[in-house]
Amino acid sequence: MTVADGSKGSERYRAISEAARRLFADQGYDATTVEQIARLAGVSRATVFRHCGTKDDIVFARYEHELAALRDGLLRGRGTDADRTRSAVLELAGRLQADGQTLLEEMQLIAGHPALRSRGVLLLHSWAESLVVEVAVRRAGRPSLRARVVAHTAVAAFQQAICVWQERNGERSLLRLTTEALNVGLPDG
């Protein structure tokens, strides 16, 4: 659960998110309590749950927001389903790359915790399914097999670009790696 930018709730969310990130890095995900996050953020435990939900939700809230932006990018796009999907995924990579160090820390946290890894896989699947649905909405019908394959391939290509980027500790451009992965998965034509 996230709140709109500019509001007092958004400021609280950012404080909670930053406190959680610092505590997860310092003492580990499992050892960090919601009470500790609330204390460091300067809010009550109830405020943490109201703005963010569980510890897992704190980790993934940003990516839920990115799903909305990914769908918007697909709807704004022009050209074929593959062109629009490629463009939306590249926009996503660019946004995430802008805060590379935080993204690296989040990816390391997710990779190191089985429950978070599982939720991450489900999240990526929901991104692909959301892209499929947006293609169907634009066409005013049911999505074709091609649209399904394009959406899932684009998300899988992005996932692999993230994996390589993380393995190389962010030394290469996430945007470039995503472009390369999309070129393999969704070649022109």
pLDDT at 11: 87
User: What average pLDDT is seen over the chain?
Assistant: 87
The per-residue pLDDT for range 147-170, each reduced to its tens digit, is 888 889 999 999 999 999 999 998
Q: Read off the pLDDT band of 139 (50, 70, 90).
A: low
Token pair listed for 161:
């670009």
pLDDT band at 4 (very low <50, low <70, confident <90, very high): very low
Distance CA 128, CA 108 (A): 22
Task: Using the predicted structure, report yes or no on whether residue 27 has a pLDDT greater than 90.
Answer: yes
Rounded to the nearest 10 degrees, how much is the dihedral formed by the CA atoms of 102, 105, 106, 109? -170
Domains parsed from the chain with CATH numbers: 8-51 (1.10.10.60), 55-185 (1.10.357.10)
Count how many Cα atoms sit within 13 Å of the Cα of residue 34 in the half-sphere of its side chain.
15
Span 58-85, pLDDT tens digits:
999 888 888 888 888 888 888 888 888 8
For 112, which DSSP code?
T
- Assigned token pair, 102: 């935080």
Q: In 3D, which of 76, 19, 73, 68 has the Cα closest to residue 43?
A: 19
